[in-house]
A = this chain, B = another copy of it.
């Protein structure tokens, strides 16, 4: 089945090509025209980098249940577009005010704020357009389930809500107070966890898995989601900007609520190991077929940028 790195790289390469096609200049049925500057800003936000972890999780979760790779890749790219929209809006001056992303100027620096707001809006919208396409799955019931789950994972009760909690935790709207460990876990389960859980569930939904199987991959997704965030927070504490491709140490500076701040570096590392074990356990029902997802959990916990 190829090494983990080979499989990850294969999805990244295929995703890059597919994303470039999805962000083409030609209007689709139901569209009037695709304005050049807007498409260019969307391409800037999406193309030319990224591990494409979310498409990878959709594809590998789908493979576990024998779902078609092409449809999973397309659903994964819809999710990637939605992830990129969230980065564009989070980077805005009124939000996290970041100038760099993956070592490149953020969209509002490369273009301007209005264009960045619209590019984010259009990426979010395009994600739902893509999930509605027959190429994702022949069964409309499967596609509509993906639409609903992605909307829930990314809306006010998911990612957008998590970003709101994060800004609140910085003391933007009321006097700052320390968050408990559980509050931080909830915040991060929304802000970054929800989309990773969705990625894993999406593969199972595409494979028309039963409720128990969907729950198993959701547990896996929840564990790697939390691990992902701890690894990210550890990186922010331990890295320099050159390794990270963006400004380092910004979390502490902004007073962001992180588990690393709450548990200390050693405590956070211990929790990371516990989460990898949880991810492994969740995959037990699938035996060796799930080895790539097991490797993905280790990769997420160990990543350096």
Contact = CB atoms under 8 A, between A and B. Distances in A.
Interface of A: 27-35, 37-39, 42, 85, 89, 92, 94-95, 112-115, 117-118, 120-122, 124-126, 128-129, 131-133, 139-141, 143-145, 147-158, 160-165, 167-168, 172-173, 186, 189-190, 194
A280 B124 CA distance: 36
B156 A35 contact: yes
Contacts of A89: 117-118, 121
Contact of A160 (B112, B118, B148): B118
Contacts of A113: 94
Nearest to A162: B32
A99 to B, nearest CB: 16
A93 to B, nearest CB: 8
A155 B29 CA distance: 12
Contacts of A156: 31, 34-35, 38-39, 42, 122, 125-126
B141 A33 contact: no
Given A30-B158, A114-B172, A129-B152, 4 more contacts: A30-B152, A42-B156, A114-B167, A124-B125
A113 B118 CA distance: 15
A78 to B, nearest CB: 10
Nearest 7 pairs between A and B by C-beta?
A: A31-B157, A30-B152, A129-B151, A94-B113, A125-B155, A132-B148, A122-B156
17 contacts: A27-B157, A30-B158, A34-B157, A35-B164, A92-B117, A94-B114, A115-B164, A115-B167, A118-B164, A122-B155, A124-B125, A125-B155, A128-B147, A129-B151, A132-B144, A140-B143, A144-B147
The dominant DSSP class at the A interface is helix
A147 B147 CA distance: 8
B32 A122 contact: no
A150 B30 CA distance: 9
B140 A144 contact: yes
Contacts of A131: 147
Contacts of A161: 31-35, 38, 122
Contacts of A133: 148
Contacts of A186: 32-33
A97 to B, nearest CB: 10
A133 to B, nearest CB: 7
Contacts of A149: 30
A36 B35 CA distance: 36
A95 B114 contact: yes
Nearest to A29: B152
A172 B113 CA distance: 11
A39 B153 CA distance: 16
Nearest to A148: B132
A32 B167 contact: no
Nearest to A94: B113
Given A126-B151, A152-B129, A157 B118 contact: no
